[in-house]
Chains A and B, each alone.
Chain A
Amino acid sequence: MNSAPSRRNFLAAGLTLPAVASATRSSGSGQPQSPTPARPSSSPALQYKILGKTGLKVTSVGFGCMITSDGSVIERAADMGITYFDTARGYQGGNNERMVGAALKRKRKDVAISTKTEANDKAGALAQLDKSLSELGTDWVDVWLLHGKGNVAAVTDDLVDAIQTAKKAGKARFVGFSTHAGHAAMLAFGAANPNIDVMQITYNFAMTPEVTAGIEQAAQAGKGIIAMKITSGGGGGGRRGAAPGPPRPKGSQLAAIKWVVRNANVHTTVPSMTDNDQLDENIKAMAEPFAGEDQKLLAVTREIIRPNYCNMCGECDGQCRQGLPVADVLRFAMYADGYGQFALGREHFKTLPAEHASVRCGDCPGCTVECPHGVRVVDRMIRAQELFA
């Protein structure tokens, strides 16, 4: 396990203040068995699924609260019938949970709230959970996740003990982990682990079929599946600081959400929603089927990202005069640029033999590799070497 200092490990821990309110669940606090709020007649039709063996009835489009600008958007979403709200101890320096709790106070028994801990030991995790409950203004969370676990080893016995302790204490109804990397291994691990109720994973139209298969396996094992980053980095909505690159076609974000929602094994999703406009747009994914037009939009989007996106067909094997494993190096760059997994890309790049790791494609007089699918191989190879070498 990587023991390097990480902001993730420290961020929320550093927020813990001395006066942590007691968040012991009172008896008969009335946790909901199946949150299904009354829906205003003016809202679009909603689609509900059951979150694995948890039995929680959740809207297939949930609400990622991380960058929401105003609590009124969350309150409105709950009134519209959205039942799943995702936050984390560390979001907005700890202020996000407070906003979410205040916004959902009126509807607490009608909605499921998920939060996460970044702590790496039992004591720290349970202290964070108490703080989360205090900030959210609730005696329990419906889903409590170990945050951003990128490999099986990161889900330690100590942390598993923490989530089970929280369940027994009634502070968390269901537990699991979120992951941005190593999806296949993490899904298989979670599927086979009786201590894991739910998994929150990165999943979108640009991902490999192996992830879809892993989700199916986990869902068949009764695990609740929550998808995040479902627009493949394209959900900026014009935000400052959103992912750079050429603009994607109008409607592609909604199409990307529909693509995920149509998968019966994905039970809910947590697209980040900033404002009411985004809420109104995203909620349509439950009312409208994934149609031919959506397929076209995603095909166009794939074309836009194609110069950077390798589908690992293997056609370039053996073409490089320097002997570089081109597809592998492109995949490493994709980890960083496509999925935001810089560490994963670097980790893989470091496994290259020294004679390959030392090659700089910019020094080569002419590239012998041609991608039949239009990937700009030289640019991407140079990008990988700039990032990782």
Chain B
Amino acid sequence: MIPRLVCGLGLLGVLAAAQDRVAAPSCGMVPGWTQAGDARYYTSDNLFEYMDGNSEGYFSYNFQTMRGVTCKKGDKTFVIDISDMSDADDSYGWFSATRDMRQPAYDVGAGGQIVPRRLIFTKGKYYVEIAAEPEGDHTADLRLWAAALAKSVEGSTSPPSALSWFPTEKQQSLKLAPESVLGLRLLKRGYVAQYDYGKAFVVFEDTPDSAAAVMQKLREHFGDATPAKLGDEAFGTTDKYLGRLCFIRQGRYIAGYSVTVDGMDPAALSAALAAKIR
């Protein structure tokens, strides 16, 4: 029994080590590039040393470790880093917070983007990024690296299903808010899509009961809640900064819209959003 256990634990260790190796970039992944300096490894204890205040953003999305390497080819320098963000939701969340929705997406992993001096993408629980020097258009090289890294990094290439719930027309951004959705601590975590007329949101609670408790606290927070017959329960309200609001509870989800222009009905928009939740 004990030898089996030891053997099993040993196998787990080997698998974990293999997983770690997979998540470490190497300059040899793309021909012609050579490593400059030592490979990097950071945890939440020392990421600050590398990232300065930017590390706070990583921590918000449950950052675990980062492995990186700097590669050179001629006068080009690529700083390549792969971060383990705990799970695919957090990795996609950090990707969604750092991409520029005004720029086109690049089809790599579960979501990616390439601009002249930068590549970011997410695959499984990993967030991959390259910053390129010097000034100029590095798109061709970044594409090669995207393909190579996407092959070596393990994980799902499917984006979170929640993304498909939001209308895409006139969507300016769609990101995972790791805390305080709409600036309200009551709404702990969820996706927020920005449109020119306002925001759509879906907040995740653990259970329908806890979601119902949050709804009750929201009613108390806003004070002038007007009940609506939508979903499991719903209400409308107004706020100086968030505009006209509608909150609908659908099981353990709280969905809705914050509308800041005339001519749009937050209740109708919210009902359509809630109907998409699966």
B-contacting residues of A (Cβ < 8 Å)? 4-8, 10-11, 13-18, 66-70, 72-73, 75-76, 79, 88, 90-95, 118, 124, 127, 147-148, 180, 237, 239-242, 244, 272, 274-278, 336-337, 340-343, 387
Contacts and interface: CB of A to CB of B under 8 A. Distances in A.
B97 A93 contact: yes
Given A67-B60, A147-B52, A241-B60, 10 more contacts: A5-B37, A15-B100, A16-B117, A66-B56, A88-B53, A94-B98, A241-B58, A337-B45, A340-B49, A342-B48
Contacts of B81: 7
B120 interface: yes
21 contacts: A7-B54, A7-B79, A10-B131, A13-B133, A18-B137, A70-B181, A70-B183, A70-B192, A72-B242, A88-B53, A92-B97, A92-B98, A93-B99, A148-B53, A239-B178, A240-B178, A241-B58, A277-B180, A340-B48, A341-B48, A387-B45
B185 interface: yes
B77 interface: yes
Contact of B70 (A5, A68, A95, A124): A5
Given A7-B131, A240-B178, A336-B46, A66 B53 contact: yes
A66 B52 CA distance: 12
A240 B60 contact: yes
Nearest to A278: B185
Among B52, B62, B116, find the residue whose CB has the most chain A CB atoms closer than 10 A: B52
B184 A17 contact: no
Interface in B38-90: 44-46, 48-54, 56-63, 68, 70, 77, 79, 81
B51 A8 contact: yes
Contacts of B181: 69-70
Contacts of A127: 135
Given A6-B50, A70-B183, A340-B49, A76 B57 contact: no
A266 B60 CA distance: 29
Given A10-B131, A180-B52, A274-B180, A342 B46 contact: yes
Interface residues of B, number: 55
A74 B59 CA distance: 21
Contacts of A387: 45-46
B180 A70 contact: yes
B182 A72 contact: yes
A18 B255 CA distance: 37
B116 A73 contact: no
A111 to B, nearest CB: 16
Contacts, number: 156
B183 A73 contact: yes
A239 B60 contact: yes
Among B44, B59, B63, B173, find the residue whose CB has the most chain A CB atoms closer than 10 A: B59
Contacts of A4: 37
A180 B56 CA distance: 15
Contacts of B131: 7, 10-11, 13-14
Contact of B117 (A14, A88, A242, A337): A14
Contacts of A10: 79, 131-133
B143 interface: no
A205 B44 CA distance: 23
Contacts of B242: 72
Contacts of A66: 53, 56-57
Contacts of A70: 177, 180-183, 192
B132 to A, nearest CB: 6
B97 A242 contact: no
B246 to A, nearest CB: 16
A76 B179 contact: no
Given A70-B177, A70-B183, A180-B52, A17 B103 contact: yes
A13 B178 CA distance: 26
B97 A14 contact: no
A242 B78 CA distance: 30
A341 B49 contact: yes
A180 B117 CA distance: 28
Nearest to A277: B185
Given A5-B36, A70-B180, A148-B52, A17 B45 contact: no
B234 to A, nearest CB: 21
Contacts of A278: 185
Contacts of B97: 92-93, 95
Contacts of B48: 340-342
A324 B113 CA distance: 51
A13 B50 contact: no
A95 B120 CA distance: 14
Contacts of B51: 7-8, 11
A241 B54 contact: no
Closest 4 CB pairs of A and B: A93-B98, A241-B59, A14-B131, A275-B180
B168 to A, nearest CB: 19
B56 A95 contact: no
A97 to B, nearest CB: 12
Contacts of A76: 183, 240-241
Contacts of A72: 182-183, 241-242
A94 B100 contact: yes
A91 B46 contact: no
Contacts of A91: 53-54, 57
Nearest to A275: B180
Interface in B93-133: 97-100, 103, 115-118, 120, 130-133
A76 to B, nearest CB: 5
Nearest to A96: B57
A276 B242 CA distance: 12
A276 B52 contact: no
A75 B241 contact: yes
Nearest to A386: B45
A241 B100 CA distance: 24
Contacts of B241: 72, 75-76
A278 B183 CA distance: 10
A349 B172 CA distance: 48
B54 A240 contact: no
Contacts of A92: 57, 97-98
